[in-house]
Amino acid sequence: MRVRGLRKQYDGVTAVDGIDLDVRPGEVFGLLGPNGAGKSTAVEILGGQRTRDAGEVDVLGVDPGRATAAWKDRIGIVWQNTADTPEVSVAELVHHFTLYYERPRDPDQVLEQVGLTDQARKRVHALSGGQRRRLDVALGIIGDPDLLFLDEPTTGLDPEARRRFADLILGLAADGTTIMLTSHYLDEVEVLADRLAVISQGRIVAEGRPRDLGGRASAVSTVHWMSADGPRSLDTDTPSQVVVDLVAEFGGEVPELRVDRPTLEDVYLRLIGATDE
């Protein structure tokens, strides 16, 4: 996926303000950003669901603005807002979706993967919010896509379902599926994404591997420990050396030793805050 200078306005409101992105085959790419940052708009344009005002977009060698049936066959999409629930069972709906694709996956296996085997005979409208979300993911992957877009796929899922979802995404990625994911859960993006971009007010304010984002890898750490006089802490860019010195000083275990680096959330909030000023 290659994006250059992508722009989109809605009635004078700029939603996407000139973004550049490169996503490599087989990569899990995360888009992070606050409400209204432009994530869904960008993903909708890349998925061929929305027109753009300006910019070049190449997704699997095709301009999504001129999507062909063969291209759509290679794309899977899970949107934030699901359509009305039809009067059919879960299994019927998933089987029905296999008809749209050239080489669909086995529906029963997909239901198993998203954890809906026990609900297969339930009517779709009788599913809970989280079960409905799992069904959306099932419909997104039933066509065995090369590229999967997931717009906030785990909103409303319980912790067990989120973990199952993470395993599912990592499994799809291991099988070679390229995945673009938006999320508000930083811990989730940190685990899943090979690289991520932070979007704020329609612009990319940082991009990189989760562990490097915003200079995180080289940021100052804080070493905490308990001295005879009470709690102590020291800001340092050489935490390992500080720990070695403390071990020598204490002649072994350092009481209540802890080394803190900025979390992805710290970096994210700083990046977002910086653009709000």
Ligand X SMILES: Nc1ncnc2c1ncn2[C@@H]1O[C@H](COP(=O)(O)OP(=O)(O)OP(=O)(O)O)[C@@H](O)[C@H]1O
Which residues contact ligand X by CB under 6 A? 10, 13, 15, 33, 35-41
- Closest CB to ligand X among 94 and 271? 271
User: b vs e for 203-242, b when ≥16 Cβ sit within 10 Å of the residue's Cβ?
Assistant: bbbbbeebeebbebeeeebebebeeeeeeeeeeeeebeeb
199/190 Cα distance (integer angstroms): 16
CB of 91 to ligand X, least distance (A): 30
- Closest CB to ligand X among 91 and 269? 269
CB of 183 to ligand X, least distance (A): 9
Amino acid at 137: V
CB of 93 to ligand X, least distance (A): 25
CB of 99 to ligand X, least distance (A): 30
CB of 50 to ligand X, least distance (A): 8
- Closest CB to ligand X among 79 and 225? 79
- Closest CB to ligand X among 8 and 132? 8
- Closest CB to ligand X among 41 and 177? 41
Written in H, E and C, the secondary structure of the chain is CEEEEEEEEECCEEEEEEEEEECCCCCEEEEECCCCCCHHHHHHHHCCCCCCCEEEEEECCECHHHCCHHHHHCEEEECCCCCCCCCCEHHHHHHHHHCCCCCCCCHHHHHHHHCCHHHCCCEHHHCCHHHHHHHHHHHHHCCCCCEEEEECCCCCCCHHHHHHHHHHHHHHHHCCCEEEEEECCHHHHHHHCCEEEEEECCEEEEEECCCCHHHCCCCCEEEEEEECCEEEEEEECCHHHHHHHHHHHHCCCCCCCEEECCCHHHHHHHHHHHHHC
- Closest CB to ligand X among 14 and 221? 14
CB of 7 to ligand X, least distance (A): 12
- Closest CB to ligand X among 6 and 37? 37
- Closest CB to ligand X among 15 and 246? 15
CB of 139 to ligand X, least distance (A): 20
CB of 140 to ligand X, least distance (A): 17
